[in-house]
A and B are shown apart, each in its own frame.
Chain A
């Protein structure tokens, strides 16, 4: 099982102008822990919507790379968005599901992936160009390369551990997160 903080840190190292959208809860804390950045759009709510924000961004910025980092619970709630992304076939969009098979924010209840529901198979069924499981930290460099240069849409299901890690809380003001992000995109 992967250490979620170590994994996200490695995926976001030397990120350049990678645009990052993080799903509510632990994914947002993980992305913040890897280092605050104006090109992070942190979600604190809107559960189920993270991948679609990535799609809107990918269509609007076709020459930039978009990475959505989110949890299995958020991805499951927005499962239909994988089909919608499959129709659009954005080459510049990658989704990393930080999959611990549990709902961390609400007390670690089992999620559907705990019962074997296979997000990689769903993504492939939705015509993703590339979908894979990641369970060894040695593969981080390869996955990082996918985020920066792989042909999307891409989905990586990263099998992370269930351990509770300290929360790292980034800014919460939605207007501020948005304005900072837009300004950074314009100057990137």
Chain B
């Protein structure tokens, strides 16, 4: 039996497992501490093109281009990055490009930096307004189930799905250095 600690630290592996299962071939991301393990897993996989972006909205175009070429793509971003994407999200909605976005949350649950709070507090609402189905994960033991369902809905139905990884799940940012 995995211990709670194992589960807590292995959620990126669970997401990666679903990337393999549904055939994600491109992953766009801006470097992020919360996503670091998942990014490393994608970088180590020759079947996945890992595309580092200068801003998250580039990733929206990447998803559309991948789909036009017959590939599935996922995006990894922080909650602040969602705000950078709003107009570009219209591309997904307007053309019906299936997309799954993984959002590591900031600005909640013990956030030490008030500058993260305004965007973090509206991230889920913004995604809904932009046409996304949103699923929030607070508990590590729900990751596999929700990520699996979210990926299936995105790519079976050409829907836009966002999975919010809460700050409780990923851990409060430590500023001890």
Contact = CB atoms under 8 A, between A and B. Distances in A.
Interface string B6-46: 00000000000000000001100000000000000000000
**Chain A at the B interface: mostly helix, strand, loop or mixed?**
helix
Given A51-B61, A53-B65, A175 B95 contact: yes
Given A48-B88, A178-B97, A185-B69, A83 B54 contact: yes
A174 B59 CA distance: 19
B87 A57 contact: no
A55 B51 contact: yes
Contacts of B58: 49, 52, 78, 80-81, 84
Interface string A28-44: 00000000000001010
Given A48-B57, A52-B58, A52-B62, A60 B69 contact: yes
Interface residues on A, range: 35 or more
A84 B51 CA distance: 7
B68 A53 contact: yes
14 contacts: A46-B61, A46-B91, A48-B88, A49-B60, A53-B68, A55-B62, A55-B65, A56-B66, A56-B68, A56-B71, A58-B69, A60-B26, A84-B53, A185-B70
Interface of B: 25-26, 49, 51-55, 57-71, 73, 87-88, 90-91, 94-97
Interface of A: 19, 21, 41, 43, 45-61, 78, 80-81, 83-84, 87-88, 174-175, 177-178, 181-182, 185-186
